[in-house]
Amino acid sequence: MEILKKWFVTGIGTGIGKTVVSAVLTEYLKADYWKPVQSGDLKQSDSMTVKNLVSFPVHIHPERYGLHTAVSPHQSAEMDNISMRVRDFELPDTENHLIVEGAGGLFVPLNTSEFMIDLMEKLDLALVVVVQDYLGCINHTMLTLQAVLQRKLHVALIVFNGDFNPWTYTLLRSKIPSNTQVVHLPTIAQINKKHIKACAGNIALTHV
C-alpha cells in the first residue's frame, strides 16, 4: 500500500514562489491541494492558481478562511471582524496525497498570539521549505531551520527555487541535514501548465 504524503509548504519569506512550488508538488504527486488561509486576492486565489497550473483535475479543498485584504492574516481577519484561532483548523478529509500551502513564513501571525508555525505544529505534517536567493536569504533560511528544529518539526524537503549565487548555494547546502532531501527548481520564464509539468517530471525523490 502506498504511503500517503501530506506536506505543508512554507518558505523563508513572502513572495518566494510557494504557490509555484505547491503546483509542482501537486503535479508530481497528483495530490489534493489546500490553502488554509487566503489573505486577499480572493478573485485570483492561490487555490485558483494551482488549479490552473496542474495538468489533471485536482481536488482543491476550500480555504478555512478567505480574508478580503492583502495584508497580514491577523490584520485582515480583524478587518473582516473574524476571530481566527489555530484550534479552528482541521485537515481536510482525503484518501489522496495532500499539499498544504501556508501564508508567508513561519511567523506570519494568525492573531496576536498565534503564528503560522503554531498551525504547522497542530496539523503535524512534514514540511517543505522553499528558499529563494536574495540578499538576506542565508539569514532567513538559518533562522527558519533553527525555529523548526526548536519545535521538533520534520522537514521532508527543501526546495531551492530559481537561480542561486554559488557561494550562497554552497553554504546553505552545507547546513542542510543529510537526511533531508533537496530539490532545485530552475527559474521558470513562463509559468504555465507545460512548464509546471516539466518541472514535476524532473523531480526524483526517494525516502520522503
Whole-angstrom Cα distance, residue 3 to residue 105?
A: 27
Quote the cell numbers at residue 7. 506536506
Domains of the chain: 6-201 (3.40.50.300)
Say if residue 16 carries a ligand binding annotation: yes
3-state secondary structure of 64: coil
Which pLDDT band, with edges at 50, 70 and 90, does 4 fall under? confident
Say if residue 17 carries a ligand binding annotation: yes
Q: Could you read off the pLDDT of 101-121 as tens digits, one per residue?
A: 999 999 999 999 999 999 999
Which helix (H) or strand (E) segment holds residue 49: the answer is helix 46-53
Whole-angstrom Cα distance, residue 14 to residue 18?
A: 8
Distances in Å between the Cα of 14 and the Cα atoms of 102, 130, 197 are 10, 10, 24
- Catalytic residue positions, numbered: 35
Which pLDDT band, with edges at 50, 70 and 90, does 85 fall under? very high
Q: Could you read off the pLDDT of 147-179 as tens digits, one per residue?
A: 999 999 999 999 999 999 999 999 999 999 888
pLDDT at 189: 79
Whole-angstrom Cα distance, residue 152 to residue 190?
A: 37
Q: Could you read off the pLDDT of 42-69 as tens digits, one per residue?
A: 888 999 999 999 999 999 999 999 999 9
Q: What is the pTM of this model?
A: 0.95
DSSP 145-189: HHHHHHTT--EEEEEEES---HHHHHHHHHTS-TTSEEEEEPP-S
Say if residue 104 carries a ligand binding annotation: yes
CA 30 to chain centre: 16
Strand partners, 181: 157
Between 36 and 177, the more confident residue is: 36
Say if residue 18 carries a ligand binding annotation: yes
